[in-house]
Amino acid sequence: MKHLPLLKEAQKSCPAGESCHTELIRYRAYRENYGKSSLTAGAAAQRAWFETFPVYVYDCDRIAGSRRGNWVESVDPLELKRARAIGASFGQLGFWTNSDHFAPGYDRFLREGICGTMARIDESLLVHRMEADKVEFLRAQKEVLAGFSTFVRRHGEAARETAARCDDPALREELTALAADLDYAAWEAPVTFRQALNLVWLVHLSFLFQNKYAMALGRMDQYLYPYYRHDIDAGILTPEDAEDLVACCLIKIVECGFGDIVNICIGGITPEGEEGINELSYGILHAVRDCNVPGPNLSARLHEGMPEHFLDECLQVIGTGLGYPALMNDRVNIPALKRHGYSLEDANNYCFVGCIENFIPGKQPAWSDGRFNVPAFLEAVFYRGTAALDPDVLGLDTGPLEDLVTMEDFLGAFERQIAFAAAEYVTVFNNENGRYNYRHYAQPFMSLFCDDCIARGEDINCGGARYPSVHGACGMGIATVADSLAAVEKVVYLDHACTLTELRDAMKADFRGYETLRARLQNAPKYGNNDDFVDKYAVWYVEFLDRVFGQYRTRDGGVFYTAMASNTQSVSAGHVTGATPDGRHAGVPLSDAASPTYGMDKNGPTSAFLSLCKPDYRRVSCGTVVNQKYTPDMLTDPVKRAALTAAIQVYFSQGGQEVQINCVSRETLKDAMEHPENYADLVVRVSGFSAYFTGLSRDVQEDILHRTEHAEIR
């Protein structure tokens, strides 16, 4: 780990300032291509960026590619203003229009190299030579790929120039070797581990400068493993050296203070169904630990028959406080994807984009998703299509509460509200997603990394991708809903302690003057304690959301996945959601993602796990977030860690989809909230990502603080 500390220190000198080089370069290229199609002009602008963007190589770099070239001290304000106006006229896609959150097909790109990819484009040009639109698109791909080749070569030149100025003989030798690797990878298919890794990083960096974020690095331990194995066998690389190279790459994610949710997947089975965990899986795991920053979002796929020590190693890294990796279950995710028509090999090869979203790398358009606030539709039952706090909620009028004579009546009214809201959600999304002429917003560079765009001569969003686009509707507040439905059944329909009308009045008053009733509601069974009375409603929630959204299709024929996830929106959504029948006060955060309501899972983590694996998560094709919090010694003490390992294995064997863990003590979190100046480097798991704790809003800090903290497995 000689180079990582040097690079960490060097990056502190990265200047702050206005990010505008990219805008100016593209504008100058647009000026030369006025009157041409947006595709041709855009490709020329991208090539110009590749050929003129200021590249920078640190004297301690082992992997080239830096963000600092985009910061400039002075520009012509008139030119910058005009650049932004012209750039805006070309427009760009956004998250809901399949712009980013994509896992490139790095495996094929590395096998073929730039030269092999260029040859495929030429072959496709011959096939489609009589189809003008496809010829234009393929020529645009050639343009940007030629530019990228120059970009790689320019980094080799910069590494050589840095070496000439370097006083340290060891660093100079390293930079000279780096330059040679970049010279080779600028055209030929990579042979060595560093050539392959550097090519991947420069592709990723290129996406960042196209305003594409949360671009996944995918299954690095799979597509980089042949190069790792080649170098190990040839005696030109050690496992420790490979770990350092990976760390020197990943630390660049937070260069210049920039943070990005870059999901990396390790473990799992291979496309052929064989063991996928290898030496590089552990190397990447340790590299993320060594970086100790919240940038790379590491996810570990667990599967039946995997090496026993893999999960233990994962828990040890989580135990540093990072909260990485999130733990994912192949036994749930693969069948969840397979049911949508993906080949078994592609489903086996899934990775993740963004936080936890399941994705077929290099074969489908970029991801999109949105939040679906189910507790708000529960309010709509009580207020006849409206809500207590949020004036934007306008659901169905499902009639007077007096007409809901049985629990089945009440649940039926709730189902009608959800079905109506889902139809509205799909309508809004499809209107937004389908209003664009995607040919005008073609992405020839991204399409290089997606099968079968080159063969078809089509953009990734215009039929080039092997599979259609999918969208994830993220169901929020499953525990808030399950607890509320259990409370309604128990207090209203079984105990007859109040009527629905009286419950509505209590909720509208936020339980002021109804404290006794609120206590009864709070004492009703709660999700997370292995109680079928309430858990059956979580089972219903997962099944019903999948059934409702499963009937709809995206603009190009893809499906609507569901997710049990909320990011940090469980806090903000709670702010606009009135009091709920579980006894929750108005404005208080909803339950987090798929987790039990914090503080309500009173019987220990084993009972929580048993509740959590009752729903059929094979219906949740997008993914799930389950946050758990343990005292630090649960992950540092080998005996306690072994007990936690066993509990997770049982949870996954019974159908649990995901779990992620915080192990920063409550005392540390409280002190960090009081004295943030002492905790600048404190990293915690937030939801589907980790972050510096002191950089989070107070509401989110409080939400993390209030998570149930387990000190033992029982």
Annotated active-site positions, please? 355, 357
The Cα 52–Cα 116 span in angstroms is 25
Q: Are 182 and 156 in contact (CB under 8 A)?
A: yes
**Chain mean position to CA 14:** 27
> Under a CB-based contact definition with an 8 Å cutoff, are residues 105 and 449 in contact?
yes
Question: Any idea of the CA torsion for 423, 427, 428, 432, to the nearest 10 degrees?
Answer: 150
Amino acid present at 677: E
CA distance 370 to 366: 14
Helix runs in 166-307, H state only:
169-185, 193-208, 220-223, 225-234, 239-250, 279-291
CB 148 within 8 A of CB 154: no
> Which residue intervals of 356-477 are DSSP H helices?
374-382, 407-434, 444-447, 453-456
Instruction: Give exposure, 460-478, as e/b (b: 16+ Cβ within 10 Å).
Output: bbbebbbbbbbbbbbbbbb
Q: Which amino acid is at 47?
A: R
Cα 624 to Cα 476, 480, 502, 621: the distances in Å are 11, 16, 35, 9
Q: Fill in the amino acid letter for 238.
A: T
Contacts with 573 (C-beta within 8 Å, 6 or more apart), sequence order:
371, 373, 375, 376, 476, 477, 566, 589, 590
Query: What 3-state class would DSSP assign to 447?
Result: helix
Q: Give the β-pairing of 18-19 and 71-72.
A: antiparallel
Write out the H or E segment, with its range, that includes residue 471: strand 471-475
Coil/strand/helix, residue 327: strand
For residue 22, the Cα-to-chain-centroid distance in whole angstroms is 26
Q: What is the DSSP string of 646-678?
A: HHHHHHHHTT--EEEEE---HHHHHHHHH-GGG
Neighbours of 573 (CB within 10 A): 22
User: How many other β-carbons are positioned within 10 Å of the β-carbon of residue 637?
Assistant: 14
Please write down the HEC assignment for all residues of 64-96: CCCCHHHEECCCCHHHHHHHHHHHHHHCCCCHH
CA 223 to CA 197: how far, in whole Å?
A: 10
Is the Cβ–Cβ distance between 570 and 591 less than 8 Å?
Answer: yes
Q: Are residues 151 and 52 in contact, defined by beta-carbon separation less than 8 angstroms? A: no
**How many residues in the chain?**
714
Residue type, 90: F
